[in-house]
Amino acid sequence: MTKKEEFLSLYQTYITRPGADKLLALLEKSDFFLAPASTRFHLAHPGGLLEHSLNVGKLMLRYEDELPESLVICGLLHDLCKTNYYRESTRNVKNEATGQWEKQPFYQVEDSFPYGHGEKSVYMIEQFFRLKAPEAMAIRWHMGGFDDAVRGGSFSISRAYERYPLAVKLHLCDIEATYLVETRQSAGQ
């Protein structure tokens, strides 16, 4: 089974809310399944966003004390904001061996709707179906200390994590996927 087939299977098995089919149709038309997960850090290659979303979705399913639908929504869709967010470009890099300048491809951010990270994902999902409060909080705050609001001094994340355990679980799975699972995958382990 390909990663896309695995994603579709999880999505269609667990996410049954009215409008979920329309969101899935949007994903099919967008670059979601081909986009990188980042410009130069984790899974900065074609299909990286799909791979990361799938990793987080599978990790979330370990939490048997939560509704499976909520776990899969949060895991698979937490980075929906990265859809149509990156574009391929080239830059000149000097080849150390030859001394010649060569064009090398790279990804750059093209944020046409600068609404924030987690909040943008919540906004995009809710164009198709309603999120429950714990799901919205989890997706909004999944970046943890890397979130711009937190770095700016906001304490809202602490209140969100105290009130919504699902938010803590998503953050932990996102970090585990990024720094443990995907590091091993890229090292071939």
pLDDT tens sequence across 30-81: 999 999 998 887 898 999 999 999 999 999 999 999 999 999 999 999 999 9
Assess if residue 168 is contained within a domain: yes
pLDDT of residue 151: 54
CA dihedral 44, 61, 78, 46 (to 10 degrees): 20
Assess if residue 105 is contained within a domain: no
Q: How far apart are CA 71 and CA 48, in angstroms?
A: 20
pLDDT digits (tens, 9 = 90+) for 16-43: 999 999 999 999 999 999 999 988 878 9
pLDDT of residue 189: 47
Assess if residue 34 is contained within a domain: yes
Assess if residue 101 is contained within a domain: no
- Tell me which of 186 and 91 has the higher pLDDT: 91
CA 36 → CA 5, 41, 90, 138, 173, distances in Å?
Answer: 18, 10, 16, 22, 19
Assess if residue 56 is contained within a domain: yes
Question: Crossing angle, helix 133-140 and helix 156-163, to 10 degrees?
Answer: 140
pLDDT of residue 139: 97
Q: How far apart are CA 68 and CA 14, in angstroms?
A: 7
Assess if residue 97 is contained within a domain: no
pLDDT of residue 140: 95
Domain range for residue 75? 3-83+117-181
Decide: helix, strand or coil at residue 172: helix
Assess if residue 151 is contained within a domain: yes
Assess if residue 102 is contained within a domain: no
Q: How far apart are CA 36 and CA 34, in angstroms?
A: 7
pLDDT of residue 116: 82
Confidence of residue 172 (pLDDT cuts 50, 70, 90): very high
pLDDT of residue 61: 98
Q: What is the mean pLDDT of the chain?
A: 90
What Rg do the C-alpha atoms of the chain give, in angstroms?
17
pLDDT digits (tens, 9 = 90+) for 94-111: 899 998 999 888 788 788
The CATH number of whichever domain residue 44 belongs to comes to 1.10.3210
- Count of the separate structural domains present in the chain: 1
